[in-house]
Amino acid sequence: MSRIAYVNGRYQDMRDASVNIEDRGYQFADGVYEVCEVRGGKLVDMPRHLARLQRSLGELRIAEPMPLAALSVVMHEVVRRNRVRFGIVYLQISRGVARRDHGFPAAGVKPSVVVTARSIDPAKGAANAARGIKVITVPENRWPRVDIKSTALLPNVLAKQAAREAGAYEAWYVDSDGFVTEGSSSNAWIVTEEGRVVTRPDKSGILSGITRSVLKEALEALQIRLEERPFTPQEAAGAAEAFVTAASMIVMPVVAIDGHAIGSGKPGPVALRLREQFHRFTTFS
């Protein structure tokens, strides 16, 4: 079946869909995006994603292209037209099309909107979780406003490629003070020998992940102690467990960091329990 995309008011076959070459998203990465999990044909935690989208647009002073309720309708329709049962839906909004100039375009330029969706085999994710993933660490080299979910992801691309070339699945950034910030496309977590779950606070240096925020609520409900504080790669190497979170991975156990086995070298019980219980605490629409 041909995939269908929504591009600036039209649902089109992916083979025919296109954006203007002077779209600022293409020329300047002047835009924002969201990735939402699709589970059983329903969108997971859509209100949280739309709220974060609204914040990102506001921080970059990009106008909302349509009411959030209308964006939700479009995203649901793209999922429906692509018959996605399990997968992701991707939304991107740029500042729009204008003559190339670093400054903002004149008032009246409409933001561009693109929505796509694709299926992901849930069995593949389950298999990855059963064996766990490996991560490497790389120096933090991104701009300071990583709290904005912008499309300017070249450092993330290079970090992810470095991980793949090292035989790993993900890369964790390490800041100038020696602390882990987050992954190239995920949030980073460890579990101490005492069973406490640790992740960096979202006040600086990381994106406030939607999966991360849901998991915090799950930890409280499951009476698992959470510590929001920085941790070093050395502490992670000596942890009982480690894992990452993202909409595309949910909770994914980490079994090695920079070639050093974490705990037993196998997915740990806390990460596996959180993965199993995660969707009890999400919303579906």
Beta strands in 9-51 (DSSP E): 10-13, 31-39, 42-43
Three-state SS sequence of 242-280: EEEEECCCEEEEEEEECCEECCCCCCCHHHHHHHHHHHH
Give catalytic status of residue 149 as yes or no.
yes
**Encoding tokens for residue 243?**
């894992």
Nearest to 169 by CA among 120, 123, 121, 135: 135
CB atoms within 10 A of CB 100: 10
Quickly tell me which residue has 């593949």 as its tokens: 124
SS3 content of the chain, % helix, strand, coil (to 5): 30, 30, 40
Nearest to 201 by CA among 173, 240, 227: 227
Quickly tell me which residue has 């995660």 as its tokens: 278
User: What is the Cα gyration radius of the chain?
Assistant: 19
Per annotation, catalytic residue among 149, 160, 203, 216: 149
Which residues are known catalytic residues? 149
